[in-house]
Amino acid sequence: MPRESDIIAGLKKRPSVKRDVLLGIGDDAAVIKTGEGRELLACCDLMVEGVHFRTDWSPAGLLGRKALAVNLSDIAAMGGVPKFAMLSLALPEWCSDDFIAELFDGVFKLAEATGVSIIGGDTSSSRDSLFIDVSVIGECETGKAVTRRGAKVGDTIYVSGSLGASALGLSLLEKGFRLDDSQDPNDARPQAVRKHLVPEPRLELGRALGHAELATAMIDISDGLSTDLWHILDESGVGAVIHASAIPVAECVTAIALEGNTIDHLMLALNGGEEYELLFTASPGKTQEIEKLSDLPGVKIYGIGEIVARRDLLLARNDAFESLSPTGFEHRI
Q: Is 131 in the site for its own copies (CB under 8 A)?
A: yes
> Are 328 and 234 contacting, i.e. CB atoms less than 8 angstroms apart?
no
Q: Is 18 in the site for its own copies (CB under 8 A)?
A: yes
Q: How many angstroms separate the most distant Cα atoms in the chain? A: 59
The single residue among 90, 170, 179, 238 that binds its own copies, judged by CB under 8 A, is 90
CA 253, CA 265: separation in Å to the nearest integer?
A: 6
The single residue among 68, 78, 91, 238 that binds its own copies, judged by CB under 8 A, is 91
Q: Is 43 in the site for its own copies (CB under 8 A)?
A: yes
The single residue among 9, 117, 246, 291 that binds its own copies, judged by CB under 8 A, is 117
Q: Select 52 or 265, whichever has its Cβ closest to its own copies.
A: 52
Q: Is 52 in the site for its own copies (CB under 8 A)?
A: yes
Q: Select 82 or 161, whichever has its Cβ closest to its own copies.
A: 82
CA 122, CA 295: separation in Å to the nearest integer?
A: 40
Q: Select 231 or 265, whichever has its Cβ closest to its own copies.
A: 231
The single residue among 68, 75, 111, 167 that binds its own copies, judged by CB under 8 A, is 111
CA 216, CA 118: separation in Å to the nearest integer?
A: 31
CA dihedral sign of residues 185, 191, 197, 201:
positive
Q: Select 74 or 277, whichever has its Cβ closest to its own copies.
A: 74
Q: Is 68 in the site for its own copies (CB under 8 A)?
A: no
Sole window of 110-118, 181-189, 257-265, 287-295 interacting with its own copies (rule: CB under 8 A): 110-118
Which residues, 6 or more positions from 280, have their beta carbon under 8 angstroms from its beta carbon?
146, 157, 158, 159, 209, 215, 216, 217, 218, 219
Residue whose C-alpha is closest to residue 156's, from 241, 262, 221: 241
The single residue among 63, 67, 137, 268 that binds its own copies, judged by CB under 8 A, is 137
> Are 54 and 331 contacting, i.e. CB atoms less than 8 angstroms apart?
no
The single residue among 54, 59, 95, 189 that binds its own copies, judged by CB under 8 A, is 95
